Amino acid sequence: MNRITINPNQCGGRPCIRGMRIRVKDVLDMLAEGATPAEILADFPDLEAADIQACIAYAARYLDHTVLVST
């Protein structure tokens, strides 16, 4: 199952979780602010633990690119 979906007509085309209006960025922001996965799941009962893991994996894949630095 592809947990991360992108629909140009939903949330401005930003990546969401399973077609819901819960953006990957929102989950990542909550984690960055110190929320635990259990807290996120309690706040969003439609989410599953695998959704949170998929958000982290999506971010890791998205950021895996060469960064050129000018010296």
Residue spans of the domains in the chain: they are: 4-62
| Mean pLDDT score of the chain | 93
Domain 4-62 has CATH 1.10.10.10: yes
pLDDT of residue 1: 60
Residue 60 confidence class, pLDDT cut points 50, 70, 90:
very high
- pTM for this one? 0.85
> What sections of 1-71 are H helices per DSSP?
24-32, 37-43, 49-62
* pLDDT per residue as tens digits for the range 21-54: 999 999 999 999 999 999 999 999 999 999 999 9
Compute the Cα dihedral for 58, 35, 19, 48 and give only its sign. Answer: positive
pLDDT of residue 68: 79
